[in-house]
Amino acid sequence: MDPVTHGIAGALIGKGYFAERYGRVATFAAVLGAIAPDIDVVAGIITRDPLSIIKYHRAITHSFVALPIFAFLLALLIRASLPWMKRKWRWLKDAESPPLAIVTLICAIGLASHILLDGMTSFGTRMWFPISSRRVAWDLLFIVDFTFAAILLLPQTIAWIYSDPTPHLSAARDVARSRRLAIRMWIIFTVVTFAVWGAARLAGYPFRLAVAVIIAVILAVVLFLPAIRGWGYRVTQAGWCQFGICLSVAYLLGCAVAHHAAILRAKTFVDQNHIVADRIGALPIPPSLLDWGDAIRSPDGVFESDFDLRNTDPLIFRYIPDSLADVYVARALRYPNAKLFLDFSRFPSIVSFEDDQGRHIVELGRNIFADKRRGPQPFTYQMTFNREGDLVDQGWLTERMAQEQIKEREPRLPFPLKRNPASPEN
């Protein structure tokens, strides 16, 4: 999940359960805990390893095993830097630091929210590292879920509009101020909605214009309804945020129900067509919990389909066959980076071919996005061999990152292989 959504979730938790008693430092601690695990992305900068997103990301910093240690370290950091933050940020000027144990607890809850939300995406996370390197991926949320982010953000926005009367203003002026804020926020949310609609259309995702219009209307109701008879002012910030947490949990439960329905369709296809399935999955795709992609890994290839749950027609699956096993495929699968990629990928496809320069290409694809109109799939790893069978180039097909550095770390393998080339163990 993206860091912005993590931060919004942390703020919602902090405001909903801790800020009323422990002040703004509690909210800051929850936000810091919610975004801190992604600090592991610096590993890619330090190591300059293109596969760092697989090797290091979502490992120790995303682990419940290490969570108590990181929570305590973050709490110490907050306590030590609070005097500086008070001088730097006016909104923390009068803030008092809660006890260290409380700050540690809040940071721990923020960290836990990050780990759990990452586990709900198809990318998954190694939440028990280093005890286990298995990725937990519940496939409930897309990596960037705007609906979920809006559910987390809207209650905080409403609390800001209606739950913080300005002392020096009269009641009439306070209502006018809230009305202006509501209008501004409705415009911002609506603009973002149509921007997402435009981006989704360009990317080939199904997002109807009528749905964007309906969302704009719903936003207007949500933002302006609390002004009626002033009932919105009687709800505390904590109350709004606690309602938002309940709403976000309800949304996740809805995603779980939709995921179950989507995976049942894949299982029906497998049963009706007597397919030997190594793995079956239902993967969320934008823009809503009604849009899914089913993926089926068979011994010889991958079946995939994208659909809207409201469409009851039988699913049409695309079949992506693996290339026939050859000496280059067997050779590629012996390299550490290829093994690492296949361990990471849940529905891999293997393609082997010769290019117009006489080089042999082996592509390892991670089929987690079903729409084929967007060109090469994300996380497609390409390995290039010369006529002599030497690995001369490798890297992400879509990004072409630092192939020379990878090549230096890979062992040289004898060629041709003497054992059965069709066996991945060779």
**CA atoms within 13 A of residue 143's CA, in its CB half-sphere:** 7
Report residue 171's pLDDT band, with 50, 70 and 90 as the boundaries.
low
CA 178 from chain centre, in angstroms, equals 34
| pLDDT exceeds 50 at position 15 | yes
pLDDT tens digits for 58-104?
889 999 999 999 999 999 999 998 888 877 777 777 777 889 999 99
CA 33 from chain centre, in angstroms, equals 17
Contact 405, 326 (CB under 8 A): no
Q: Where are the domains of the chain?
A: 1-125, 257-320, 322-409
What is the rounded CA–CA span in Å between residue 178 and residue 54? 46
| pLDDT exceeds 80 at position 405 | no
Q: What is the mean pLDDT of residues 138-154?
A: 93
Strand (E) or helix (H) holding 303? strand 301-308
SS3 321: strand
Q: Taking all residues of the chain, what is their mean pLDDT, rounded to a whole number?
A: 85
| pLDDT exceeds 70 at position 173 | no
Report residue 347's pLDDT band, with 50, 70 and 90 as the boundaries.
confident
**Of 322, 151, 357, which is closest to residue 241 (Cα–Cα)?**
151
**Of 343, 344, 285, which is closest to residue 140 (Cα–Cα)?**
285
Q: Report H helices in 303-387.
A: 327-332, 336-344
Report residue 411's pLDDT band, with 50, 70 and 90 as the boundaries.
low
| pLDDT exceeds 70 at position 130 | yes
| pLDDT exceeds 80 at position 274 | yes
Residue corresponding to tokens 């059965």 = 420
Contact 156, 240 (CB under 8 A): yes
Look at strands 279-284 and 291-298 and give their pairing. Answer: antiparallel
User: Distance of CA 384 to CAs 55, 104, 307, Å?
Assistant: 22, 49, 35
Report residue 414's pLDDT band, with 50, 70 and 90 as the boundaries.
low
Q: Between 371 and 70, whose confidence is greater? A: 70
pLDDT tens digits for 233-247?
889 999 999 999 999
Structural tokens at position 32: 């810091």
